[in-house]
Amino acid sequence: MNNKLAALAAALFVIVFGFEVAQIKGQFTPVTQNLQMIGYELFGTGSVVGRYVVPFELLSLILVAGIIGMFYIAGRED
Amino acid sequence: MYLFLVSMLSLILFAVGLYGIMVSNVGIKMLISIEILINSAILELVTVAVSSGTVDPIILALFGIAIGAVESVIGLSLLTATFRRIGNVAIALLREIKW
Amino acid sequence: MVAPYLPGWFIFLSPAIGAPVSLIVGRHKRFWAGIIASLSILISLILTYVAFVQVGTSGPIQNQYLWFFNINVGVYIDNLALVMAFMVSFVSLMIHLFALYYMGKDPNKHVYFAETALFTAGMLGLVVSSNLVEFFLFWELVGLCSYLLIGFWYFKPNATSAAKKAFIVTRVGDLLFLVGMAVLYESLIGYTFSPQGTGPLDIPFLISHAASVASYIGATRLGIVAVLFLAGAAGKSSQFPLHVWISDAMEGPTTVSALIHAATMVTAGVYLVARVFPLYYYSAPFAVYSVIGMGAFTAVFAGIVGIFVNDIKRILAYSTISQLGYMLSAIGIGALAFPAVAGSVGYEGVALGIFHLISHALFKALLFMSAGAILIALMDLRDTREMGGLWRRMPVTVTLLFIGSLSLVAFPGTTGYFSKDAIISAAWDYHLAFAGVAAYLPWILLVTGSFLTTVYTFRMFFRVALGKPRSHLAEHARDPRLLALLPLIPLAAGALVLGPIQGLFYGFLDPSSLIPSVPFAIESVPVILLAAGIALTYILYGTDRWKHISVDSNPLYRVAKNKFYLDYAFTNIIAERVIAPISGAFTAFEDAYNSAVDAFGSATSSFGTTLRRIQDGIVENYFIVLIIGLAVIFIIVGILGMM
CATH number at residue B33: 1.10.287.3510
Q: Alpha helices of C129-209 — where are they, by DSSP H?
A: 132-150, 157-187, 203-208
In a domain? residue B77: yes
Task: Count the helices and strands in chain A (H runs, E runs).
Answer: 3, 0
CA distances from C72 to C69, C129, C201 (A): 8, 10, 8
pLDDT at residue C254 tops 80: yes
Q: How far apart are CA C352 and CA C356, in angstroms?
A: 6
Q: How far apart are CA C534 and CA C405, in angstroms?
A: 11
Query: For chain A, which residues make up each domain, given as ranges?
Result: 2-74
Over residues C310-324, mean pLDDT: 89
- pLDDT tens across C367-382, in order? 998 888 888 888 777 8
CA-closest candidate to residue C424, choices C263, C318, C296: C296
Look up the pTM and report it. 0.72
Q: How far apart are CA C61 and CA A56, in angstroms?
A: 93
Q: How many CB pairs under 8 A join A and C?
A: 25
B51–chain C nearest CA distance, Å? 26
Q: Is the dihedral of CA C400, C404, C409, C410 positive or negative?
A: positive
Three-state SS string over C479-534 comes to CCCCCCCCCHHHHHHHHHHCHHHHHHHHHHHCCCCCCCCCCHHHHHHHHHHHHHHH
Instruction: Return the higher-pLDDT residue of A4 and C578.
Output: A4
Q: What single-letter DSSP state applies at residue C283? A: S
- pLDDT tens across C197-208, in order? 677 888 888 888
The β-bridge partners of C131 are C202
Where is average pLDDT lowest: C41-50, C101-110, C338-347? C338-347
3-state secondary structure of C202: strand
3-state secondary structure of C12: helix
CA distances from A35 to A50, C151, C293 (A): 14, 104, 119
Cross-chain residue pair C627–B96, CB shorter than 8 Å:
no
Over residues C574-591, mean pLDDT: 85
Search chain A and give the residue with CA nearest B21.
A6
C469-472 CB contacts, 8 Å cutoff, 24+ apart: C469/C387, C469/C388, C469/C389, C469/C390, C469/C393, C470/C385, C470/C386, C470/C387, C470/C388, C471/C381, C471/C386, C471/C387
Q: What single-letter DSSP state applies at residue C191? A: P
Contacts of C627 in chain A (CB under 8 A): 9-10, 12-13
> Which residues, including other chains, have CB under 8 Å from residue B78's CB and lie 6 or more apart?
A73
Query: For chain C, which residues make up each domain, given as ranges?
Result: 562-612, 619-643
CA distances from C183 to A27, C213, C275, C315, C632 (A): 91, 13, 18, 38, 67
In this complex, is the C-beta atom of B26 within 8 Å of any C-beta atom belonging to chain C? no
CA-closest candidate to residue B10, choices B49, B32, B38, B50: B38
CA distances from C257 to C317, C552, C635 (A): 8, 30, 88
Q: Is the dihedral of CA C29, C33, C36, C38 positive or negative?
A: negative
Instruction: Return the higher-pLDDT residue of C563 and C366.
Output: C366
In this complex, is the C-beta atom of C579 within 8 Å of any C-beta atom belonging to chain A? no
Structural domain including B36 reads 2-93
Q: How far apart are CA C362 and CA C256, in angstroms?
A: 15
pLDDT at residue C95 tops 80: yes
Cross-chain residue pair B97–C615, CB shorter than 8 Å:
yes
Search chain A and give the residue with CA nearest B1.
A28
- pLDDT tens across C583-638, in order? 888 899 999 999 999 999 999 999 999 988 877 878 888 888 899 999 999 999 98
Name subunits touching B (3+ CB pairs < 8 A). Answer: A, C
Q: Alpha helices of B1-99 — where are they, by DSSP H?
A: 2-23, 27-52, 56-86
Q: How far apart are CA C243 and CA C233, in angstroms?
A: 11
Q: How far apart are CA C7 and CA C54, in angstroms?
A: 10
Q: What is the pLDDT, as a whole number, of residue C139?
A: 93
Q: How far apart are CA C287 and CA C281, in angstroms?
A: 8
Instruction: Return the higher-pLDDT residue of C517 and C249.
Output: C249
Search chain C and give the residue with CA nearest A7.
C624
Mean pLDDT of chain C: 85
Within 28-67 of A, beta carbons closer than 8 Å to B belong to: 28, 30-31, 33, 37-38, 41-42, 52, 55-56, 59-60, 63, 66-67
Report whether C148 contacts C124 (CB < 8 A). no
Q: How many CB pairs under 8 A join A and B?
A: 102
Q: What is the pLDDT, as a whole number, of residue C514?
A: 72
A50, burial (CB in 10 Å: exposed 0-12, middle 13-18, buried 19+): middle
Q: What is the pLDDT, as a whole number, of residue C1?
A: 45
Give the count of beta carbons closer than 10 Å to the beta carbon of residue C205.
22
End-to-end CA distance of chain B: 50
CA-closest candidate to residue C292, choices C326, C329, C265, C255: C329
Instruction: Return the higher-pLDDT residue of C96 and C615.
Output: C96
- pLDDT tens across C116-160, in order? 999 999 999 999 998 999 999 999 999 999 999 998 988 888 889
Where is average pLDDT lowest: B72-81, C43-52, C66-75, C587-596? C66-75
DSSP structure string for C32-89: HHHHHHHHHHHHHHHHHHHHHHHHHHH--EEEEEEEETTEEEEEEE-HHHHHHHHHHH
In this complex, is the C-beta atom of B86 within 8 Å of any C-beta atom belonging to chain A? no
Contacts of C627 in chain B (CB under 8 A): 18, 22
> Which residues, including other chains, have CB under 8 Å from residue C393's CB and lie 6 or more apart?
C469, C474, C475, C477, C478, C479
- Alpha carbon of residue C516 to chain centroid: 28
In a domain? residue B29: yes
In this complex, is the C-beta atom of C637 within 8 Å of any C-beta atom belonging to chain A? no
- The percent of residues in chain C predicted with pLDDT above 70, rounded, is 96
In a domain? residue B46: yes
Backbone angles phi, psi at C273, to 5 degrees: -65, -40
pLDDT at residue B37 tops 80: yes
Over residues B4-32, mean pLDDT: 91
Cis preceding-peptide flag for C241 (omega within 30 of 0): yes
Q: What one-letter code names the amino acid at A16?
A: V
Q: What is the pLDDT, as a whole number, of residue C346?
A: 64
Over residues C58-63, mean pLDDT: 81
Assign B12 a pLDDT band (cuts: 50, 70, 90).
very high
In this complex, is the C-beta atom of C468 within 8 Å of any C-beta atom belonging to chain B? no
Most confident of C56-60, C226-230, C507-511: C226-230
ipTM for the complex? 0.88
In a domain? residue B85: yes
Q: What is the pLDDT, as a whole number, of residue A14?
A: 93
Q: How far apart are CA A67 and CA C403, in angstroms?
A: 112
pLDDT at residue C434 tops 80: no
Q: How far apart are CA C598 and CA C603, in angstroms?
A: 9
- pLDDT tens across B61-73, in order? 989 999 999 999 8
3-state secondary structure of C189: coil
Q: What is the pLDDT, as a whole number, of residue C551?
A: 66
Give the count of beta carbons closer than 10 Å to the beta carbon of residue A19.
12
Backbone angles phi, psi at C195, to 5 degrees: -80, 135
Q: How many domains does chain B divide into? A: 1
A69–chain B nearest CA distance, Å? 8
- The percent of residues in chain C predicted with pLDDT above 90, rounded, is 23
C19-24 CB contacts, 8 Å cutoff, 24+ apart: C19/C114, C19/C115, C19/C117, C19/C118, C19/C121, C20/C114, C22/C110, C22/C113, C22/C114, C22/C117, C23/C110, C23/C111, C23/C113, C23/C114
Cross-chain residue pair A73–B81, CB shorter than 8 Å:
yes
Report whether C17 contacts C40 (CB < 8 A). yes
CA-closest candidate to residue C13, choices C34, C41, C35: C41
- The residues of chain A scoring below 50 in pLDDT are none
pLDDT at residue C342 tops 70: no
